[in-house]
Structures are given as structure tokens and as C-alpha cells.
Amino acid sequence: MNELRRLSGAAASLAALCAVLPAWAYIAGIASFAGVYICRLVLVYRFAVRALDRVQPVHIPSLLNALVGRSDSTGIEQRSRRSRNPRDTPRSR
């Protein structure tokens, strides 16, 4: 119960702090967040292109899984093999 009171007090102080900020501070914060996000996407894209140029073809599915953020054991290559199987169509199930 004591943690809940502390949380509401922190939220109230944050709300009070945000209420005092001028509009240009909000606009600058949103613009800087968008700029950082776009720069991050560009850097990830450039590093991914370099990694795909240097990697052996066997490791491409695991690299793509890492870029997408998947951590499951079924790779892209195994999924595509399953989808190419003619017996695995929705009609035959």
C-alpha cells in the first residue's frame, strides 16, 4: 500500500512539472525524439546491409531473425520450406 502512495506522489509531481513547461518545450521534445528514432532506424539499416554483404548465405536467416527481433527456434528458412510444401495447403487440412 505504501508503494501505491509513493507512485501517485511521483505521478503528481511529474504532472505538476509538465504543467509548467511551455509549449515549445513539448514541440522540441517531440521533434528530438523523432529525430533520434529516425537516426536509429537509418543506422540499423546501414549496419544490416553491411552485415548481409559480409555474412555467409547459411547465416542469413539467423541474421534476419536477429534484425526482426525474433528469438524462436524456427527460422525463416524453415517457415518458407513449410509454405512451399504442396500437401500443406489449407484445403488439404
DSSP 23-74: HHHHHHHHHHHHHHHHHHHHHHHHHHHHHHHHS-GGGHHHHHHHHHT---SS
- Note the pLDDT tens digit of each residue in 7-30: 677 777 777 777 788 889 889 999
| Residue for grid cell 542469413 | 60
Enumerate the domain spans of the chain: 22-92
Please tell me the predicted confidence (pLDDT) of residue 3. 55
Cβ-based burial of 30 (10 A; exposed 0-12, middle 13-18, buried ≥19): exposed
Q: Give dist(CA 72, CA 64) in Å, integer.
A: 12
Higher pLDDT, 61 or 32: 32
52 falls in which pLDDT band (50, 70, 90)? confident
Please tell me the predicted confidence (pLDDT) of residue 18. 77
Question: What pTM does this model have?
Answer: 0.49
Average pLDDT over residues 55-70: 83
What is the per-residue burial (b if ≥16 Cβ within 10 Å, else e) of 49-86? eeeeeeeeeeeebeebbeeeeeeeeeeeeeeeeeeeee
32 falls in which pLDDT band (50, 70, 90)? very high
